[in-house]
Amino acid sequence: MSDSFESLRIGAIYYHTNFVFKNGGTSDKLLIQLNEPSDNEPYIFVITTSQEEYRLKEEGCQEYSSEFFINANKDFFNVPTWIELYRPVTFDAGEVTDALFKTKLMKCIGILSDKTITELKNCVKRLPIIEIFIKNLIIESYNNRFGK
């Protein structure tokens, strides 16, 4: 998939080389875009992980851990994958376009199905850990793309 074909839309999956965490650590990560911002709104992404550790393999929304589980060989992922909704990451438009087109730190490599995007949005709505501002941006973007 080309960087410009499906990028910058809800449900786009990005490979980010050298992603910088809040604690200063870096790693290559897969990120999922959760909104399509307008005006000066931030882009909202969530980090994925395939590290099972103490996680349960229950398909879909996991309210107790504020994660969303996608089984192997579904929606692009070839291994069991957890979407960490409890720690959304925001970037301004300039940071995203630079990472995609200038520095090439991000590359769009897939897209979630509309069904999974809807399930993710519904999960976000139920999670009290996600701040209202972020939650509203995600829901508004979803409604603008898919209707209410």
Q: Domain residue spans in the chain? A: 12-146
CA distance 128 to 122: 12
How far is C-alpha 12 from the chain's CA centre?
7
Task: Write down the pLDDT at residue 5.
Answer: 45
Rounded to 10 degrees, the C-alpha dihedral 80/7/118/135 comes to 100
Kindly tell me if the per-residue pLDDT of 131 is higher than 80: yes
Entry pTM? 0.91
pLDDT digits (tens, 9 = 90+) for 34-73: 999 988 899 999 999 999 988 999 999 999 999 999 999 9
Q: Which of 34, 21, 51, 9 is nearest to 123 (CA)?
A: 34
Q: With cut-offs at 50, 70 and 90, classify the pLDDT of residue 4.
A: very low
**Separation in Å, CA 109 to CA 7, 13, 16, 112:** 9, 6, 10, 10
Given a cut of 50, is residue 3 above it in pLDDT? Answer: no
